[in-house]
Amino acid sequence: MGKEQYPEMPVRFYRTEAGGSPVTDWLRGLDKSDRRAIGLDLMRVQFGWPLGRPLVGSLKDGLWEVRSSLPSQRIARLILCFHDQMLVVLHGFIKKSQKTPADDLALAKRRMKEVTK
């Protein structure tokens, strides 16, 4: 038997104090093919970090975005941070404009503060 390989960068999803996982809830609401595309992109980040554009971009202040082009012809973003040598997925959304919406960025920043306190 071969030696088991572990990912370079473990991934976890943000959880509320009540134990909910808004990012996984959002993902479950997407089509299976869209979920798969996002999952594959997240896996590329997990196993290939550090990565840059076009897949990963810095949003500054410790936030990063994973850019996914979906089979449904939409564009999705996962916003994440690093904490305790782990990727923490803070927020996910369907992109509808060129710039990352301020509300989505503010939500991710609030969640990052919760995770890193």
Token pair recorded at residue 99: 């710039």
Tokens of 32: 């299976």
**Backbone angles phi and psi of 80, in degrees to 5:** -140, 170
Q: Model's pTM, two decimal places? A: 0.90
Handedness of CA 61, 16, 32, 48 (dihedral sign): positive
Q: How far apart are CA 15 and CA 98, in angstroms?
A: 28
Helix (H) or strand (E) holding 61: none
Under the banding of pLDDT at 50, 70 and 90, the label for residue 4 is low
- Could you give the percent of the chain with pLDDT greater than 70? 94
Q: Which domains does the chain have, with CATH numbers?
A: 11-116 (3.30.2310.20)
